[in-house]
Structure 1
Amino acid sequence: MQKINCVSKDVWPELVGARGEVAERVIERQNPNVNAIIVREGSFVTGDFRCDRVRVWVNSLGIVSRIPRTG
């Protein structure tokens, strides 16, 4: 089993209002330990916490609508 490093940048408030695809690239560049996933507002997601995942919530226009953070 691979150990995941959870000590790194874990929140990106500056990306609210950015295009989802841009936010995804910025997050993965700033923290190579995470996989950024674009999620449309209203979608159902699992409730588990994973420090190697960042959900990038976007509205119907593809704009980041919540602060991206690990989880």
Structure 2
Amino acid sequence: MAQVQVSAKTTWPELVGKSYEEAAASIRKENPELQVSKVAPGQPMTRDFRHDRVRIMVDENDVIIQAPSVG
């Protein structure tokens, strides 16, 4: 398994209020090694922490409701 480069940036508060597509593109552009995933309201998710994953919490309109962060 390849070692993933950890980004110096771990949270993106400036993306709150933006669309999921815009936020995901911005994060991937900054660090293409990160896996970006969308979390819809009420969607279950694991509680494990991963340095190579960013979860993006969205509302029913795919608008960011919480600062995306590594984990």
State the TM-score, normalizing by the size of structure 1. Answer: 0.91
Aligned CA distance change for structure 1 residues 7 and 26 (closer, same or farther; 3 Å): closer
Q: What is residue 55 of structure 2 aligned with on the other side?
A: 55
> How many Å apart are 1:60 and its aligned residue?
0.4
Q: Equivalent residue of 1:23, what SS? A: helix
Unpaired runs of 5+ in structure 1? none
* Identity percentage of aligned residues: 37
When the two chains are superposed, the root-mean-square deviation of aligned CA atoms in Å is 1.1
Unpaired runs of 5+ in structure 2? none
Q: Give the distance between the partners of 1:30 and 1:68, measured in 2 at CA.
A: 13
State the TM-score, normalizing by the size of structure 2. Answer: 0.91
Question: Where do 4+ consecutive residues of structure 1 move more than 2 Å?
Answer: none
